[in-house]
């Protein structure tokens, strides 16, 4: 986004719609990877001699998970919970880009001399927008995670799964499980979009509008950096929002620190990065497609707004001409007629 020394070319909701549209399209295209990375992140590595009774399948790799899910549930199994997921993606990204646009505009208005924000400021702006967005959208993420980790026999619809979460855990507030981890994880989109803006300034200085290929490349690179930096928190958040593993005997985790301690104790330190393969691939593709689509959508919105303003100006000009003509006629002397 270029430095805004003049009013933004779009209202905040325009940026929000563009971002949400790109996110929904991108996530719909790579949704099976979302299922796989979630399943890999919630499973506990089985040790030799483990006598615990396991009812859930165990996956050794991304491809192993895809083949087993497809064999057990059919191709539909790779799209379990997609309605709730896309609803969550749309609402989260709409809220994020809406608030990101607002806080960025406020920042520029507060500056006497408009200048590109520093990396720290970009991260702070992204974190504020992400925190506000999470407060409103995390219930959908909780329900979707639960749907993605349920077996075919236990799988329910969006509303029934939400009701199950409310009745079986912390009541209504069970829909906000993992909120603390989610608020910490606002550093992920903050790093992503902060890195995007910085990389844009480095590789394409002064360029206001990127090509689809350029936007894809920068979006993918920035998301990969953010994912590597925050993967342990992502794993902990998924563990909080899913059913507890068999070793917990139905006892839910109280916080993301407890999840991380459990993972380290049972699987080792490196398991905090489990599922990072499909996570990075998914993030690489999703963020690339998202930013590519977002840039195009913003451009189309700008053209649409310019056209609307042009039509409105033409109507106002015609109305002014008509009013002037009417006024001039009213001032003409009334002709005197004689018989």
Write down the CATH number for the domain with range 12-310: 1.50.40.10
Long-range contacts of 233-236 (CB under 8 A, 24+ apart): 233/181, 233/184, 233/185, 233/188, 234/41, 234/185, 234/188, 234/279, 235/41, 235/259, 235/260, 235/263, 235/271, 235/272, 235/273, 235/274, 235/275, 236/181, 236/260, 236/263, 236/272
d(C-alpha 27, C-alpha 90), whole Å: 10
Q: Which residue has the tokens 């993605």?
A: 148
104-127 residue pLDDT tens: 888 888 877 766 677 777 778 877
The predicted structure's pLDDT at residue 47: 64
The predicted structure's pLDDT at residue 178: 73
Please count the CA atoms within 13 angstroms of the CA of 334 that sit on its side-chain side: 1
DSSP class per residue in 73-133: H-GGGGGTTHHHHHHHHHHHHHHHHHHHHHHHHHHHHH-SS--PPPHHHHHHHHHHHHHHH
The predicted structure's pLDDT at residue 53: 60
- Which stretches in the chain have pLDDT values below 70? 1-9, 46-55, 114-116, 169-170, 329-339
49-85 residue pLDDT tens: 555 565 677 888 888 889 998 888 888 888 888 888 8
Interhelix angle 82-110/12-29, rounded to 10 degrees, is 150
The predicted structure's pLDDT at residue 7: 44
Q: How far apart are the first and last CA of the chain?
A: 76
d(C-alpha 220, C-alpha 243), whole Å: 31
Where exactly are the structural domains of the chain? 12-310
Residue 221 Cα distances to 11, 212, 304, 333, angstroms: 28, 14, 30, 75
d(C-alpha 164, C-alpha 147), whole Å: 11
Closest residue by Cα to residue 52 from 274, 315, 266, 331: 266
Residue 33 Cα distances to 21, 124, 278, 284, angstroms: 19, 30, 6, 11
């Amino acid at each position: 986004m270029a430095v805004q020394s003049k009013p933004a070319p779009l209202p905040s909701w325009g940026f929000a719609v563009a971002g949400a549209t790109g996110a929904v399209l991108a996530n719909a295209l790579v949704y099976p990877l979302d299922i796989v990375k979630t399943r890999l992140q919630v499973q506990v590595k089985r040790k030799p001699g483990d006598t615990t009774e396991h009812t859930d399948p165990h996956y050794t790799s991304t491809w192993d998970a895809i083949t087993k899910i497809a064999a057990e549930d059919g191709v539909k199994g790779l799209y379990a919970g997609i309605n709730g997921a896309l609803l969550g993606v749309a609402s989260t990204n709409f809220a994020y880009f809406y608030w990101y646009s607002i806080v960025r505009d406020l920042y520029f208005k507060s500056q006497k001399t408009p200048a590109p924000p520093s990396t720290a400021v970009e991260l702070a702006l992204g974190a504020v927008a992400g925190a506000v967005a999470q407060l409103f959208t995390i219930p959908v993420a909780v329900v979707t995670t639960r749907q993605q980790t349920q077996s075919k026999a236990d799988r329910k619809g969006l509303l029934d799964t939400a009701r199950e979460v409310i009745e079986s855990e912390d009541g209504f507030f069970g829909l906000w499980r993992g909120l603390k981890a989610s608020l910490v994880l606002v550093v992920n989109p903050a790093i992503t979009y902060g890195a995007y803006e910085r990389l844009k300034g480095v590789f394409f200085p002064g360029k206001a509008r990127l090509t689809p290929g350029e936007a894809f490349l920068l979006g993918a690179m920035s998301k990969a950096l953010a994912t590597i930096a925050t993967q342990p928190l992502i794993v902990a958040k998924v563990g909080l929002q899913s059913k507890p593993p068999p070793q917990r005997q139905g006892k839910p985790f109280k916080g993301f620190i407890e999840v991380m301690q459990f993972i380290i104790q049972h699987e080792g330190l490196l398991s905090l990065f489990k599922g990072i393969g499909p996570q990075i691939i998914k993030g690489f593709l999703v963020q690339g497609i998202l930013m590519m689509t977002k840039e195009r959508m913003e451009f189309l919105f700008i053209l649409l707004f310019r056209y609307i303003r042009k039509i409105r100006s033409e109507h106002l000009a015609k109305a002014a001409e008509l009013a002037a003509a009417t006024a001039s006629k009213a001032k003409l002397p009334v002709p005197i007629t004689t018989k």
